[in-house]
Amino acid sequence: MAINPATINPLALPSVSLHQRSQLPSQPCIYFAIDLDGQIQYIGRSINPKARWALHHKYSELHEIGGIRLSYLHIDDVSLLSQIEAALIAWFNPPLNQTTNLNPFASGMLGLRLRVGKRAEEIAVELGVAVSTVRNWDQLKTAPRMTPVGLQKLMQVYNCTFDELVQAKLESENV
């Protein structure tokens, strides 16, 4: 069963509130934790989501966000669960699946982004650049070009000073 992530709308899938997680199915599923704004916060997989969510490691974080719904996509072939989950995580890029969010020592542009608590998609929209551009900055593959007009926008979006921005750019370039 091949799944194209672009054809999946997690908002249209069956769902339960986080507090009703005991009502999740016991069949193999991919599950999506979705906030009140319709943003996917986390994606996971389980052969028994009902049992998995009895003591899920992301429960506290999701509970703090509030208003979380768990939607689920039944998967018949259990051997494909991890592949489908990986494809959906890559497609939707949920913040709680990003291990880089756990790095308090991140530097460069990633350090600035994590400090302001914004997802790569948010930065991209605010700056009018591709998400891949922001991810390249985060992964130290490239550094932003700093035109006079762009400097002000970068400082505003990253909520930083000129010196912090220049330092982050230098860290990104010296890898």
Q: Any idea what the CATH number is for the domain that residue 50 is in? A: 3.40.1440.10
Has residue 160 been placed in a domain? yes
Asked which of 27-31, 89-93, 107-111 is least confident by mean pLDDT, the reply is 107-111
Same domain, 110 and 88: no
pLDDT at 75: 93
Range with the poorest average pLDDT among 40-49, 102-111, 121-130, 132-141: 102-111
Residue 101: the pLDDT is 40
Distance CA 20, CA 161 (A): 45
Q: What is the pTM of this model?
A: 0.57
Give the CATH number, domain containing residue 127: 1.10.260
3-class state of residue 77 by DSSP: coil
Based on the domain organization, do 83 and 106 belong to the same domain?
no
The predicted structure's pLDDT at residue 2: 63
Same domain, 91 and 23: yes
**61 in any annotated domain:** yes
Q: What is the pLDDT of residue 30?
A: 96
Give the model's pLDDT for residue 136: 81
Answer positive or negative: Cα dihedral of 117, 96, 40, 55. Answer: negative
Q: Are residues 93 and 112 located together in one domain of the fold?
A: no
Domain of residue 27, residue span: 12-97
At 69 the pLDDT is: 97
- How many distinct structural domains can be found in the chain? 2
Domain annotation covers residue 75: yes
Residue 57 predicted with pLDDT over 90: no
CB 168 within 8 A of CB 111: yes
Q: Answer yes or no: is pLDDT of 102 > 60.
A: no
Q: Cβ contacts of residue 133 below 8 Å, gap of 6+?
A: 124, 142
